[in-house]
């Protein structure tokens, strides 16, 4: 059974969602909130956690690593490297070095699988580091509401607020 529960405290009203006997609050508390888990974001998150801060990282993609790791730098470099190797084999360079290769052909599905394996390995490495450093990861688009609050809009349209500083753990009405 789900319902809305309004709690009044010190002249303020806080709205919480109740599910059965427990109350689920759509607000997190953190010392540091990092928006984006690209090369700058995941390093900042890990360092903050290592310094003892409660850290939350907000990422809009399903996997950590940001654009660079998931669809930009790393995948494109993987494909470029394999394309370069293919070019070398088909050029006169190999023949000049005394290497004859017959029956060599491009396997594009194989290249794509190798690229995905590289990306998966690296994103999995970041997820492992987040787990080891006790960093919370939230999927959604983060926006700064004020110096002490970040609003996260999730793919399903729901919202979650992350507070820093001395604030309540419920959403104010």
User: From first to last of its 173 residues, what are the pLDDT tens digits of the chain?
Assistant: 444 444 444 445 444 443 443 333 367 889 999 999 999 999 999 999 999 999 999 999 989 999 999 999 999 999 999 999 888 888 887 888 888 888 788 899 999 999 999 999 999 999 999 999 999 999 999 999 998 899 999 988 889 999 986 444 444 44
Among candidate residues 17, 19, 20, 47, the one with its CA nearest the CA of residue 32: 47
In a domain, residue 118? The reply is: yes
Cα-flanking dihedrals φ and ψ of residue 26, to 5°? -95, 50
For residue 21, tell me if it sits in a domain: no
Question: Is 13 part of a structural domain of the chain?
Answer: no
pTM above 0.85, yes or no: no
What pLDDT was estimated at residue 17? Answer: 46
Number of domains making up the chain:
1
CATH of residue 86: 3.50.50.60
Q: Is 53 within the bounds of a domain?
A: yes
Say what the pLDDT of residue 78 is. Answer: 93
Range of the domain at 153: 27-164
Q: What share of the chain is helix, strand, coil (3-state, %, to 5)?
A: 40, 30, 30
| 33 part of a folded domain | yes
Q: Residue 15 domain-assigned?
A: no
Helices (H), 8-104: 39-50, 66-70, 73-90, 92-96
Is 120 within a domain?
Answer: yes
Nearest to 140 by CA among 124, 126, 157, 119: 157
- What integer pLDDT is reported at residue 39 of this predicted model? 92
12 in a structural domain: no
Tokens of 56: 């939350």
Rounded to an integer, what distance in angstroms lies between the CA atom of residue 98 and that of residue 113? 31
């Amino acid at each position: 059974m789900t319902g809305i529960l309004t709690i009044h405290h010190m002249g303020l009203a806080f709205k919480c969602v109740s599910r059965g006997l427990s109350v689920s609050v759509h607000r997190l508390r953190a010392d540091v909130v990092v928006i984006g888990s690209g090369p700058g974001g995941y390093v900042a998150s890990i360092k903050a956690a290592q310094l003892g801060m409660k850290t939350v990282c907000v990422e809009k993609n399903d996997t950590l690593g940001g654009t660079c790791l998931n669809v930009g730098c790393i995948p494109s470099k993987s494909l470029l490297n394999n394309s370069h190797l293919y070019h070398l084999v088909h050029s006169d360079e190999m023949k000049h070095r005394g290497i004859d290769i017959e029956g060599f052909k491009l396997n594009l599905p194989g290249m794509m699988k190798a690229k995905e394996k590289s990306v998966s390995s690296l994103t999995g490495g970041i997820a492992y580091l987040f787990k080891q450093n006790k960093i919370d990861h939230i999927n959604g688009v983060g926006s700064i509401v004020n110096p002490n609050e970040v609003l996260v809009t999730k793919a399903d349209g729901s919202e979650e607020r992350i507070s820093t500083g001395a604030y309540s753990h419920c959403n104010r009405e």
